[in-house]
Structure 1
């Protein structure tokens, strides 16, 4: 860490190693942090696991996406804590602690990009890289009151980054304000292959909102009205015609199979003491069958085709980022797991379709932030970021 203090406990306590950046560029004057899944020359990559950290050694090559930011003039300040092996959504790491939620200090930050969201929400840097496999940027963005994006799958390089489930893994980022969100997106995302029109069709996922408690829907209503003010008339649609349960299990089975392929060999060989929840998810992953994966892939394929047709090239779907504000730090592991499962029903739309989704800090309740999401067609990422900034401006 290259900062003098870390009051949010967001950073891995690695010895400070300077990382050169360009003296000029579009991100000059901005500081950034990197989730400890990405390699940065001179630092280890721990992936939230003491065993992975012990085996890492100091990296000699910086991940291309990180290097792109350095070449654009941004200043690297450190590597942030991630949930263990990135297989969690709580932000609690049994080995390295729980970073502080800058938007609601008595609540979990959300994971697995917990440290990155914590660093930005506590003002320790201007933006931070995270990854989103099943919701790991969108969840902490909503919980901590930040802008966050899960890009079109494959749009941003994950070379020299520890995998979780490669066919779902994406590289996203967090900022506190819309202007910085767009400024960073122009570098990280590049130009759109399928830009949105000036006024896209606005679709509201009524079935997704129906999953929420009444008080949460009520809290999000003013945010929906702000989107409507920018985009015009909103048409209600069912986003998950297949039913959220089918999509939830399709995501779970595919993610589990891929996660076990990535980390299972290490877990079998070293038998590390995995933290609460993480151990259960890897135990589940180990038992996923070929038949379950085949059925899940068929559901994924049909959904992906139907969902892309629903949005077309000009549709933007409005949906909740999370089922509620972040749970309190004092919640039991069972309650956190139940909340995670509820969240995955919302998160699976972007994951299974591979389409980009942004979370915008537009709402809150009980003194805590609550995000609203916009989901767009493949390749519309930068347009979606620009739209998020416009909506936030009011």
Structure 2
């Protein structure tokens, strides 16, 4: 980890040399890695003292990390993650809360809290995170960063701790779109079916209707900026299958069952002391029924089919990333949980569909950052980054 870490973004592991290519497209850039990814010479703690104690020193590096090293990027340390990656607040009961470099009195968002903190605090040029329910998009919104949840399965998660494998994805953060695009070229390559020009921009009315009036007003300028470049968005009355409660619960049932299959055996055997929020979510996950999970999987397949038909090969949703700016660090756990539950209704569109969503730091409210997103069809990841480059230019 860097000797100077005022943001508490990095896990304080002893420094171990991590070899990289001497030249390459990222040779002038430094990066951090969420402590879910294996890096040879380091343990993988997953934000949990128990997992850390059981980890041992890894002898191989996760392919996603290795690809960055092979492109010449310089590894500077492993970043703090929320406990077992099952939170969206960025406060780990065992390792603390990394500082939001863009709004120090507000949470970073989780579970990629340390990665977002490191980049927003200028401690590295980019950082790897992961996104299951929103763990790249939420911190990107909160910390004034670009952040992508890629198409599910687009980037390898081999050598990475699971949370909910059918939802887990590898994403990353940068402060500027140029750096983001350079990393995208390495991690994504080119799209098999790029978005055509022009794209068909869509305005999902039921998602925008979730916003309180001050938030919608704060995002208006960003929405106008996007439409000035990509064309006026056509209104779509409803994206949700059924209603947003159905979207929320079916997403949560899938995530909960997979999270319990991943971490339940550890929890039942060792009864580790889990932090607030995390403990309650795992207790709830344990009791999700087979009928709920089977119904949720069928719901997900139907929603994915519906959204794929709406987007076709050229459709892109223009939508808010989160319901609002980051909550204050001093907010009580109950209000953070309320905010999280509201956010999941917005974030689950990409989660249930498996489609890519890119958050762009184009707005603010009350002096804090606010993101706006592009969500495209499966496999359009690099094309979305290209659209962001055009919008920023």
C-alpha displacement of 1:199: 1.6
TM-score by length of 2: 0.99
SS of alignment partner, residue 4 of structure 1: coil
Q: Distance in 1 between matches of 2:10 and 2:280?
A: 26
Alignment of 1:62 with 2:61, yes or no, is yes
Cα shift at 1:197: 1.1
Aligned counterpart, 1:26? 25
Q: C-alpha separation between the residues in 2 aligned to 1:268 and 1:311?
A: 43
Whether contact under 8 Å (1:101, 1:122) holds in the other structure is: yes
Deviation (angstroms), 1:329? 0.4
Q: Distance in 2 between matches of 1:186 and 1:120?
A: 19
Check conservation: 1:149, 1:172, Cα contact below 8 A.
Answer: yes
- What does residue range 159-174 of structure 1 map to in structure 2 within 5 Å? 159-174=158-173
Distance across 2 between alignment mates of 1:350 and 1:173: 16
Q: Determine helix, strand or coil for the equivalent of 1:216.
A: helix
User: Match of 1:339?
Assistant: 339
Distance in 2 (CA, whole Å) between partners of 1:243 and 1:263 is: 30
> Residue 359 of structure 1 aligns with which residue?
359
Instruction: Quote the offset at 1:240 in angstroms.
Output: 1.2
Distance (whole Å) between structure 2 residues aligned to residue 346 and residue 258 of structure 1: 21
Aligned partners of 1:197 and 1:86: how far apart in 2? Answer: 36
Aligned length: 392
1:79 corresponds to which residue?
Answer: 78
Contact map agreement 1:32 1:127 (CA 8 A) in 2: yes
The runs of at least 4 consecutive aligned structure 1 residues that moved more than 3 Å come to none
Residue 374 of structure 2 corresponds to residue 374 of structure 1: yes
TM alignment of 1:235-314, pairs within 5 A? 235-237=234-236, 238-314=238-314
Deviation, structure 1 residue 241: 4.1
Give 1:206 shift.
Answer: 1.1
Match of 1:146 in 2: 145
Matched, 1:41 2:40: yes
Residue pair 1:181, 1:389 contacting (<8 A) in 2 also: no
Matched residue, 1:97: 96
2:213 is matched with: 214
Unaligned runs of 5+ in 2: none
Give, in whole Å, the separation in 2 of the partners of 1:214 and 1:250. Answer: 28
CA RMSD of aligned residues (A): 0.6
